[in-house]
Structure 1
Amino acid sequence: MSRSSFLKGAIWLTIATFISKVLGSAFRIPLQNIAGDEVLGIFTAVYPVYMSVLIITVAGIPLAISKLISTARGEGRTDDIYFIYRTATILGLVFGVVSFALMFTFAETIAMQLGGPLVTYSVMVVSLALIFAPYMAVYRGFFQGFEDMMPTAISQVLEQLVRVLLILVAAVYLTAQAYSIDIVAGGVMIGSAVGVVLALIYLKIIFAKSKLLPKKRAAYNWSQFKRWSKRILIVSLPICFGALTMALLNVVDSLTVPRQLGAMGHTSEEITRLYGIYGRGQALVQVAVVFASALILPLIPAITKALTEQRQADASALMTKATTFTHLTSWPVAAGMTAVTIPMNVVLFGDALGSEVIFVLSISALFTSFTVLSTGMLQGANRERAAAVIVLIFSIVKVVLNLLLVTRLGVLGAAVSTLVTYIFITIVNLFVLYRTISYAWLKRSHVVFAGASLVMAGVLGLLHWFVVNEEWSRGVMALYLTGAIVLGAVIFVGLVLALKGIDRSLLQSLPVVSKFVAKERT
């Protein structure tokens, strides 16, 4: 495959990842509207635990398989391609069955740690997806090993689209039938399993048509399994551990916040409702962070390649560019969300409950984006262990902060602990990065982006103070919110252009805009 074809596939994979992550985050808003804060609270508590188990069983498999197959192809070892495939499928099936069995068997125990018996059905249902997810990951890795990114891209979007549609359909039906909260929450989780199954079926069909698996095959035996399973695990486990550390922060909330709310005397129903209010802010932050992380996704793997080829200057330039992109996107999003917190809460969720929680978490969106960025760059710079240790340490810090703050401030305390934790992770990550590779972590353009965002937030904040009436209907709030977003965008873009925060080199780095900039120069 040509280099241009490979890059095209990488771009499609980036777009698909962005779409799937947006779908996977934004659907929580209509879910809350349909089923209420209680169901959203159960979902918010269960899903990080499911994702952690999923990461343990899946995270490193596609990349490990793709690297091993790519190497075997380059060296003409066709038999090894078959051995890698067979070994990976066995590992995927074993990981899937074992992880499902553990999560399903201990569903009640897990549920009691996440808020009470209302969570049990959700844990049991979502565990079904674990049977198929590792096996599906094998096929994604196989195609990537042949530099074909399209099957992975399409399967990602298919999985998330089916999952989201079924979640919302189940929520509408079960709520209309007046089922209890635990039944509704358990029912919406079936979307995760069905989405994975349909994505697996699609990949199996494409795999059968591709005929990429060598026809002439050497005998496969126990010795080959031991050899290749060891090699797959050696490559995949560090990747898995690095990915898991980020999920730990959400798991900390799932395991500590409901327990602290229970210690304050809240009933199981009240805990799920309060945690659902907290989940409103988490949903919005995830959408904001998805945009920032997807924007720089193609740049992070390039850091590893540049360092491998001993091109330190190129690696530094890539890190500077990734940092600039994140400043450009995260500052206006975080600042804008804080300025329109109440209208946004009313329009998206139907009332102003928990607006102070959303306000604090909106600020944390800025530092969450930089945590995602800096953790990825540490992994790209071959500092996976350092990245993992940092997040593990601050996961413990977050546990302590939750224990101290939730009993005093309720779910607002959890939001404050999230903000403080991500601030410290960002600071430490950037310090370690700068000690690893010297790069421009602070430029004039970054200050321009931050300043323009703060001015925008100030103007929108004053407008809210003098204009907004919290008794407005949802429709009137929606009109105001639309106008505020347009005004905020005009202020931010106008200031950035006036202060020359974006130069031609930055525009040429953007996937679509670069074409127009290139034409302008000719």
Structure 2
Amino acid sequence: MKQTFLQGALIITIASLLSKIIGSLFRIPLQNIAGDEVYGIFSIVYPVYMAVLTLSVAGIPLAISKLISEARLAGNEQQIRDIYVTAAILAMSFGTTLFIGIVLFSNQIASLLGGEFAMLSLIVVSATLLVAPYMAVYRGYFQGYQDMRPTALSQVLEQVVRVFFILLFAYILVRQGFNESVIAGGVMIGSILGALASLVYLRRKFTKSDVKPTTDVRYSIDSFRRWSKTILKISLPICVGALAMALVNFIDSITVPSQLAAIGENVAVQYGYYGRGLALVQIAVVFAQALILPLIPLITGALAAGDHTKTSRITEKAMKFMHLTSWPAAIGLLVLTVPLNIALFGDTMASDTLAIVHVSAVFTSFAVLTTGLLQGMNKQLLSAYIVLGASVLKVILNIFLIREFGLIGVAWSTLVVYVVLTAWNLYVMKKSISFKLFGNGEIRVMLAAVGMGAVVYLPMLLFDVTAWSRGGVLLFVFAMMAVGAVVYGLLLLVFKGVTREELKMIPVVGKRL
């Protein structure tokens, strides 16, 4: 059962990476099958659910794993049982209360999201709250025993089942000729089935495992009072801190529709265009989201041991990794915006908006990473305040910029907010620990990414890709991605953007390089 920390970190990172890639890529076939209006409704409603879900469960697995790990060291089976039961009661209470609240106020919430077209989707997806919080308890329980495999497998299982049924229901409902609102509501059933599949797997794993708590002492109200306070104290700041990206998308869902409607735009279709860019940016941000999982305990442990040198080294390596992955991703998406739009979504609609959203990928990645680093430094509450401050700025910018510039105003507000969020996080980090913001080859990495972007963009000055077939454009995109990867790698070596030690760490080919 017991794994080393590095094994556990690797398992959970790979699973998180895989599940997030699956959860991002499916948006492309969803748009292709159901169209921009259905995809727009999905893009409006889903962030609301994700924000509520994050608030209700994000910190529970970490809180449970921490508390159960401590109880295990003390050999106290009663405490383990009490922590598990209390967490389960809290999770089910939160989930049920939030589900009932969303259903009761679904009409008012749908009005905030742009109209009645969002109501059915909102009600259906909110039913996942009856399952997901309880599922999070089991993940935290196994993590408390240093077993990351159930969490990892359940994450992948949830996404595979969810995506399969989303696309299946989209195909069936479109073929049956239902309207866009019903189709969007139908695909949301996939989220319920995905969470349910994950819960069934975890429950069976728990029932058959040898880590079930065994005690003859009855669970009491006093136990609930004691452990609920402890769990909430640990989990709530983490929940708010984990809202960084979810909260910004939530703000868009409740502010953008009303502003688009005010200037006479079709809300669902326009939001569908904006959602195209978000689908690709989320793929680029996957590395940042996966990286923070093992980073948080590493930094927390280094600080607890008073090893500031190790803390600085971990922070600098994480920042360097983010430079190496986010800059080429953002610049590559930027220069290939038009062919990507044609190849993946079938036309060039809102390409100017998508281009700005693609640029924001680099700052979104850094915002997610630095928020996680602050949590590792035990500054969860301060991190939460920063996220809330950035959210207020997002509201103001959305209202002003959409009224002035239309849909592209949403993209500009997203870019500005993530720049501000990143800068704010870095300022707090610099006051807390000593680390080099630049000086580890970051500028050389940026130059390599810009050079790669120039090479990839050059053919589009010579050829009009908009006149090609969709299949031809897709082949062109794949070819340019391959060329870009090779050019970026060569420029990194030429500009010495990576050190010998960093090259050696690359799996398989590192030592040869």
Q: Quick check: TM above 0.5?
A: yes
Shift of the alpha carbon at 1:340?
Answer: 0.8
Quick check: 2:41–2:118 contact (8 Å CA) kept in 1?
A: yes
Who is 1:494 aligned against? 490
Partner amino acid, structure 2, of 1:148:
D
Is 1:472 paired with 2:468?
yes
Shift of the alpha carbon at 1:457?
Answer: 1.1
Aligned counterpart in structure 1 of residue 429 of structure 2, from 426, 433, 440 = 433
The two structures have a TM-score, normalised by structure 1, of: 0.95
Quick check: 1:402–1:417 contact (8 Å CA) kept in 2?
A: yes
Distance of 1:217 and 1:15 partners within structure 2: 39
1:23 alignment partner, SS class: helix
Shift of the alpha carbon at 1:9?
Answer: 2.4
Who is 1:168 aligned against? 167
Aligned counterpart in structure 1 of residue 270 of structure 2, from 254, 271, 274 = 274
Stretch moving more, 212-221 or 307-316: 212-221
Is 1:388 paired with 2:384?
yes
Shift of the alpha carbon at 1:207?
Answer: 0.4
Aligned counterpart in structure 1 of residue 305 of structure 2, from 302, 306, 309 = 309
Shift of the alpha carbon at 1:67?
Answer: 0.8
Please list the CA deviations of residues 380-429 of structure 1 after superposition, one character each: whole Å capped at 9, or x if unmatched: 11222222222211211111111111122211110011111111111121
Quick check: 1:507–1:513 contact (8 Å CA) kept in 2?
A: no
Describe the shift of the 1:82–1:2 C-alpha distance in structure 2 as closer, same or farther (beyond 3 A): closer
Is 1:442 paired with 2:464?
no
Stretch moving more, 317-326 or 209-218: 209-218
Shift of the alpha carbon at 1:3?
Answer: 5.8
Shift of the alpha carbon at 1:475?
Answer: 1.2
Partner amino acid, structure 2, of 1:193:
I
Who is 1:27 aligned against? 26
1:367 alignment partner, SS class: helix
Who is 1:224 aligned against? 223
Quick check: 1:158–1:195 contact (8 Å CA) kept in 2?
A: yes
Distance of 1:244 and 1:486 partners within structure 2: 34
Partner amino acid, structure 1, of 2:18:
I
The two structures have a TM-score, normalised by structure 2, of: 0.97
Shift of the alpha carbon at 1:126?
Answer: 0.2
Describe the shift of the 1:513–1:320 C-alpha distance in structure 2 as closer, same or farther (beyond 3 A): farther
Who is 2:197 aligned against? 198
Stretch moving more, 252-261 or 377-386: 377-386
Who is 2:283 aligned against? 287
Who is 1:183 aligned against? 182
Distance of 2:459 and 2:151 partners within structure 1: 45
Who is 1:124 aligned against? 123
1:470 alignment partner, SS class: helix
Quick check: 1:334–1:363 contact (8 Å CA) kept in 2?
A: yes
Who is 1:113 aligned against? 112
Q: Percent identity?
A: 49
Distance of 2:68 and 2:291 partners within structure 1: 28
Is 1:359 paired with 2:355?
yes
Quick check: 1:296–1:326 contact (8 Å CA) kept in 2?
A: no
Shift of the alpha carbon at 1:440?
Answer: 1.5
Quick check: 2:120–2:185 contact (8 Å CA) kept in 1?
A: yes
Shift of the alpha carbon at 1:509?
Answer: 4.4
The runs of 5 or more residues in structure 2 that have no matched partner are none
Distance of 1:94 and 1:428 partners within structure 2: 35
Please list the CA deviations of residues 115-159 of structure 1 after superposition, one character each: whole Å capped at 9, or x if unmatched: 110011000100110001111111111111111110010000000
Distance of 2:103 and 2:456 partners within structure 1: 48
Please list the CA deviations of residues 341-399 of structure 1 after superposition, one character each: whole Å capped at 9, or x if unmatched: 10011001011111111100111001111111111111111222222222211211111
Distance of 2:249 and 2:286 partners within structure 1: 15
Shift of the alpha carbon at 1:500?
Answer: 2.2
Shift of the alpha carbon at 1:163?
Answer: 0.4
Shift of the alpha carbon at 1:469?
Answer: 3.4
Is 1:370 paired with 2:366?
yes
* Equivalent runs, 1:2-151 vs 2, <5 Å: 4=4, 6-151=5-150
Partner amino acid, structure 1, of 2:310:
D
Shift of the alpha carbon at 1:47?
Answer: 0.9
Who is 1:246 aligned against? 245
Shift of the alpha carbon at 1:468?
Answer: 2.8
The runs of 5 or more residues in structure 1 that have no matched partner are none
Please list the CA deviations of residues 171-207 of structure 1 after superposition, one character each: whole Å capped at 9, or x if unmatched: 1110111100000000000011111111000001000
Shift of the alpha carbon at 1:443?
Answer: 2.3
Distance of 2:289 and 2:438 partners within structure 1: 19
Distance of 1:136 and 1:347 partners within structure 2: 37
Distance of 2:74 and 2:288 partners within structure 1: 38
Please list the CA deviations of residues 229-280 of structure 1 after superposition, one character each: whole Å capped at 9, or x if unmatched: 11111111111121124322111111111100111123xxx21001000000
Shift of the alpha carbon at 1:71?
Answer: 0.4
Who is 1:327 aligned against? 323
